[in-house]
Amino acid sequence: MPKIQAPKGTRDFYPADMAWHRHLLDAWRRVSVRNGFEEVDGPIFETLELYKVKSGEGIVSELFSFRRTGGDTDFAIRPEFTPTLARMVADKANALPKPVKWFATPNFCRAERPQRGRLREFWQWNVDLLGLDTPAADAEVIFTCVDLLAELGMDATQVRVKVSHRDVVKQVLLTLGVPEEKLPGAFVLLDKRDKLTPAEFTKQAGGLGLDEHRVERFEEVCRRKYRSGDLSHLARSLGMTEPPEDLALLDEQLRAFGISDWCEYDLGIVRGLAYYTGTVFEVHEATGVERAVAGGGRYDQLIELFGGPAMPAVGFGMGDVVLTNVLADKGLVPDDVAPRPDAFVFAASDEAAAGLPAVVSQLRRAGLHARMSYKTTRNVGKLLKDATGCGARFAVILGDDVQVKNLETGEQKAVALDGLAGAVTD
Amino acid sequence: MPKIQAPKGTRDFYPADMAWHRHLLDAWRRVSVRNGFEEVDGPIFETLELYKVKSGEGIVSELFSFRRTGGDTDFAIRPEFTPTLARMVADKANALPKPVKWFATPNFCRAERPQRGRLREFWQWNVDLLGLDTPAADAEVIFTCVDLLAELGMDATQVRVKVSHRDVVKQVLLTLGVPEEKLPGAFVLLDKRDKLTPAEFTKQAGGLGLDEHRVERFEEVCRRKYRSGDLSHLARSLGMTEPPEDLALLDEQLRAFGISDWCEYDLGIVRGLAYYTGTVFEVHEATGVERAVAGGGRYDQLIELFGGPAMPAVGFGMGDVVLTNVLADKGLVPDDVAPRPDAFVFAASDEAAAGLPAVVSQLRRAGLHARMSYKTTRNVGKLLKDATGCGARFAVILGDDVQVKNLETGEQKAVALDGLAGAVTD
């Protein structure tokens, strides 16, 4: 029979790949929990209708959707978590203690052309804080994101959190002379600015009714970055006497959480034309290679859109594919993240071999990670090499007696069977 | 807008549900790892073709399958892991160190009518050992299953591992006088015996060409259970002088692994008409309520069927739904499995409140699970109740100084800010 392949854009996780994948998922969960978020999850597929609420018909072509034979409902494998989260919050909004601090680490599928940083199946960390509309809530969510980046070994020179605020950008565009009715067009232009040549950008900016001088100012505003803690500089660039209040309050909180060195203001960050209402942010590798590592912001009207009560909300998503690419580029994907055995058990004689199952099961029942040799050889030298090869801390050698060898120090001693578990946890 | 519902037969995991779900997944992984299995995973959907290899066209109606607009390939959300595992092993068979010991804890979808113990989306623990065709390998896999049941608090009086062996059953049927050509019919009858009335069973057994006396013997053989360690009894029932060798060798290994008290021989266990070739087993609640908690066996020809080399294999699957039902029946689903905060931080004055983010972020960066109060009240008594309510071990009270209160002992003391992390890990 010819071998069948995995679907395009999906991954098979063999043990070494899975060890890293599990390491990443565990880090997402550990950081979420210590930041006070509670884990949730939803179904792997939802009604197609659910995904149209936020994204309209346009989303359908990006989904893996299906209908049961004889059924009347279209379903789709989840492409993101936000609609599920909004449905779950809307359904139990009054019963949930506030603020709602939820995280999830689900897999998603999108019918996109597979390319670097973008696969058809991927995992994404979702962190959401609902019920608070304060800059402190925005900053706590951004802190949680930074806490993860630091947990995986990155520092503020390697990644940047690019922060913007939709109301501030709107205010800036109006100040620059973009007429109210051309604001949506200006947002579209901001969102796609990196895909345009400078000439094309200037031309399209001119179409917004800006003269050459104002196009230049517009370009400067959306290309320039301002350090957190230096908002007066941004104010001067914009010809304002005071920094925009929304950014000033957020900046104060980013400093209070101790993460202003990771952050910069970048008014070119728009996060598509999605449902964001205030603060928006993206995490990028510092030199600008790769896609965004994470992205999020405030979405104060979404829970209502899904039939729930008015509830302010802020959150972000971080995918596993780009994150792993960036970490690998920085040498931060170690190859020793697989679980390490406490003991590797083998028999030095055929007579002793019958005792292997009892010894191994005794160790495992004591909670110890115990492997054993399945070979028929009784060559102790070769078997010790196998023990070292699998990374075990101790070798347990069954012969006329039971010997325990510490594979780091080389120390070896005979132990009583009933003291074995203790001897390999020393 | 009217609220949209989750698809029928799927689950929303709110924090309390998810805490149990995570506890279960963690237990599956912990037990797998200590038994020397390595984690793997595959795509959430595969080509429909992959699922037909093992199960034929009959499987299609049980799947959530789909085809992309304009595409020429049918896909299906995975209904089980074995085809993915067989594909992955077949693809890299020669490069994989032997034996291959893999586990996975994926979610699956089946388009079945939701009922007790059976949902449309469920999680299943898969444990497989490939490359060994010994009774010791069968017993190690069964040990791993039992190790999990014990890990979750069950004992041998609450669940039974019902073991059979396809070759032994075949031999018994032949001995009883079932003609070779009627063996498939006899296996079908064994598999559905629990769904038939005794009269209906007797009638159908008669159709196999057995006289009344032999029908009685057949019935006795497939209904009677024999304790592990008492195979001579089984031999006598079958009119044999010696127990069947396949069971005798397996029994020896089950005793070597110390799990014979959990096991019994039940020749009525067939595991459907699937691909099993030798040992088969199912785990059932002892009184017989609920569906099977787990099931598996030896499948020595499957890797070849998927285009790989000949490779013996043994494994099992355990679903989350029936397992949780059985554990709940036994009072073994504790409600305190959510992560417990190390510290709950609050301000006793408005002046001190500005320092909350710095204190909380300091604790979190030190790896501690730190929550904080989002309330504007400064009433220390009420806030201490919140701290106790969330299960925190320590309250951290910001006022003129920083006080740490041990919520178990009631002991309270002032600490320096730079010693705070140490003070809440005491």
Q: Is A376's Cβ below 8 Å from some Cβ in B?
A: no
The closest alpha carbon to A118, from A62, A195, A55, A192, belongs to A62
User: How would CATH label the architecture of A15-329?
Assistant: 2-Layer Sandwich (3.30)
Q: For strand B100-104 and strand B121-130, is the pairing parallel, antiparallel, or unpaired?
A: antiparallel
pLDDT value of position A219: 81
pLDDT value of position A238: 79
The residue of B374, B393, B424 whose CB has the most chain A CBs within 10 angstroms, and thus the best one to mutate to test that interface, is B374
Q: Is A12's Cβ below 8 Å from some Cβ in B?
A: yes
Residue A206 has pLDDT above 80, yes or no: yes
Q: Is B1's Cβ below 8 Å from some Cβ in A?
A: yes
- Chain B residues with CB under 8 Å of A148 CB are none
- Chain B residues with CB under 8 Å of A314 CB are none
Mean predicted confidence (pLDDT) in A283-294: 93
Instruction: Tell me: cis bond preceding B114? Omega within 30 of 0 counts.
Output: no
Report the gap between the CA of A205 and the closest CA in chain B (Å). Answer: 37
| Residues of chain B falling short of pLDDT 50 | none
Alpha-carbon gap, residue B309 to A383, rounded angstroms: 27
Confidence of residue A273 (pLDDT cuts 50, 70, 90): low
Nearest to A369 among B33, B308, B368 (CB): B33
Could you say which residues from 193 to 222 on chain B have a Cβ atom under 8 Å away from some Cβ of chain A?
none
Confidence of residue A336 (pLDDT cuts 50, 70, 90): very high
Could you say which residues from 47 to 66 on chain B have a Cβ atom under 8 Å away from some Cβ of chain A?
47, 49-50, 53, 61, 64-66
Q: What is the DSSP letter of A134?
A: S
- Chain B residues with CB under 8 Å of A119 CB are none
CB contact under 8 A, B64 and A68: yes
Residue A1 has pLDDT above 90, yes or no: no
Chain B residue with minimum CA distance to A308: B3
- Chain A residues with CB under 8 Å of B43 CB are 6-7, 10-12, 121
Nearest to B357 among A5, A12, A253 (CB): A253
Q: Is B106's Cβ below 8 Å from some Cβ in A?
A: no
Report the gap between the CA of B2 and the closest CA in chain A (Å). Answer: 6
Number of CB pairs, chain A paired with chain B, less than 8 A apart: 240
CB contact under 8 A, A44 and B45: no
Locus of tokens 């969330």: B390
pLDDT value of position B96: 97
A15-329 and A343-423 in the same fold: no
Q: Is A32's Cβ below 8 Å from some Cβ in B?
A: no
Report the gap between the CA of A141 and the closest CA in chain B (Å). Answer: 11
According to CATH, the topology of domain A343-423 is Rossmann fold (3.40.50)
CB contact under 8 A, B357 and A2: no
- Chain B residues with CB under 8 Å of A82 CB are none
CB contact under 8 A, B47 and A258: no
pLDDT value of position A59: 86
Cβ within 8 Å of residue B125, ≥6 positions away: B28, B32, B103, B104, B105, B148, B294, B317, B318, B319, B320
Chain A residue with minimum CA distance to B45: A7
Q: Is B46's Cβ below 8 Å from some Cβ in A?
A: yes
Torsion A405-A406-A412-A413 (CA) sign: negative
Residue type, B17: D
Task: For B16-63, write each residue's pLDDT tens digit.
Answer: 999 999 999 999 999 999 999 999 999 999 999 999 998 888 889 999
Task: For A72-109, write each residue's pLDDT tens digit.
Answer: 899 999 999 999 999 999 999 999 999 999 999 999 99
Report the gap between the CA of A5 and the closest CA in chain B (Å). Answer: 8
CB contact under 8 A, B44 and A306: no
- Chain B residues with CB under 8 Å of A140 CB are 357
Q: Is B79's Cβ below 8 Å from some Cβ in A?
A: no
CB contact under 8 A, B253 and A357: yes
Task: Name the more confident of A275 and B52.
Answer: B52
Chain A residue with minimum CA distance to B26: A26
Alpha-carbon gap, residue B147 to A362, rounded angstroms: 11
pLDDT value of position A57: 86
pLDDT value of position B1: 64
Residue pair A344/A372 in contact by the 8 Å Cβ criterion: yes
Helix (H, G, I), strand (E, B) or coil at B41: strand
Q: Which two tokens stand for residue B182?
A: 């009627």
Chain B residue with minimum CA distance to A253: B357
Mean predicted confidence (pLDDT) in A172-199: 86
Q: Which two tokens stand for residue B302?
A: 């499957």
Mean predicted confidence (pLDDT) in A159-184: 90
Nearest to B7 among A7, A46, A69 (CB): A46
Q: Is A370's Cβ below 8 Å from some Cβ in B?
A: yes
Boundaries of every domain in chain B:
15-329, 343-423
Task: For B147-188, write each residue's pLDDT tens digit.
Answer: 999 999 999 999 999 999 999 999 888 888 888 888 888 888
CB contact under 8 A, B75 and A7: yes
pLDDT value of position B390: 96
- B147-160: b or e for each residue (b if 16 or more CB lie within 10 Å)? bbbbbbebebebbb
Helix (H, G, I), strand (E, B) or coil at A206: helix
- Chain B residues with CB under 8 Å of A92 CB are 14
CB contact under 8 A, A4 and B256: no
CB contact under 8 A, A45 and B77: yes
pLDDT value of position B215: 82
- Chain B residues with CB under 8 Å of A150 CB are 365
Could you say which residues from 297 to 316 on chain A have a Cβ atom under 8 Å away from some Cβ of chain B?
305-308
CB contact under 8 A, B35 and A364: yes
How distant, in Å, are the alpha carbons of A151, B204, B206 from that of B211? 72, 12, 6
**Burial class of residue B410 in the structure, from the number of CB atoms within 10 Å of its CB (0-12 exposed, 13-18 middle, 19+ buried):** exposed
Q: What is the DSSP letter of B63?
A: S
The closest alpha carbon to B279, from B143, B167, B401, B196, belongs to B167
Q: Is A159's Cβ below 8 Å from some Cβ in B?
A: no
Nearest to A18 among B39, B90, B369 (CB): B39
- Chain B residues with CB under 8 Å of A44 CB are 10, 44, 77, 107, 109, 121
Alpha-carbon gap, residue B343 to B346, rounded angstroms: 10
